Amino acid sequence: MKYPKLRELKEAIKALIKGPYTTAYPFKPHKPYERFRGRPYFHEDDCMGCTACAQVCPSNAIDYEDTVVNGKGIRKLVIHWDICIFCGQCQANCPTTKGIILSQEYDFATTENREALKQEIEKELMLCDGCGSQVLPYDQYLWVAKKLGPLVFSNASLILIYLRVLELALSADGTKERCIPKADSEYSRSDRIKILCPKCRREAVLKS
């Protein structure tokens, strides 16, 4: 007869006193450890729609689509929990550090409605005042402006966004909406102080 090792005997005694290491799930709720990586969620108020999370996602669980409807740009971001591997790269690479955060949720398996395993949010896109193409999400402009502080006045588009937030600037048609796109030949010097895409800004600088 072989006697058990002292280490094994010690572990057996500890288990008798403290109880089993496993939990009683699913009969009782299980509370994961604090650093457990569960279902990620977009936090719409903190997300600026920059798509950094989509670019670093190794399983392509995050995608986005830019559309323009009735002169208004919309960026829709979608995270698919059914193909997410919970690596945490989206949270680690989020510029705001709070735009997407992994929760402690782990029990969301289903055999029926797979389409429900996703989260969608929408962000307003700033459109070019020259050609009407998509430039950046409005919230991303604001985030960059806050980061730069006084240096915001070194960029024409950021100046305009900042002044519009303070309700100190209007667009060319006298409203707070974006300007109506126009032909390249109509650019003047004043067009430099507008929300422009790189192509139109180049045209405005060269032709003014």
Q: What is the pLDDT of residue 179?
A: 46
Q: What CATH number is given to the structural domain containing 96? A: 3.30.70.3270
76-96 pLDDT tens trace? 999 999 999 999 999 999 999
Q: Please, what sign has the CA dihedral across residues 157, 159, 163, 169? A: negative
73 lies in the same domain as 118: yes
Q: Does 84 fall in a domain?
A: yes
54 lies in the same domain as 69: yes
206 lies in the same domain as 149: yes
Q: Which residue range(s) make up the domain with 43?
A: 32-125
Q: Does 9 fall in a domain?
A: no
116 lies in the same domain as 154: no
132-167 pLDDT tens trace? 888 889 999 889 988 888 888 887 788 877 777 777
Q: Is the pLDDT of residue 183 over 60?
A: no
39-69 pLDDT tens trace? 999 999 999 999 999 999 999 999 999 999 8
41 lies in the same domain as 121: yes
59 lies in the same domain as 134: no
Residues near 107 by beta carbon (within 8 Å), at least 6 away in sequence: 26
Cα dihedral 48/50/56/59 (nearest 10): 80
103 lies in the same domain as 146: no
User: What pTM does this model have?
Assistant: 0.76
Q: What is the pLDDT of residue 110?
A: 79
User: Among 125, 158, 182, where does a domain finish?
Assistant: 125
46 lies in the same domain as 109: yes
Q: Does 6 fall in a domain?
A: no
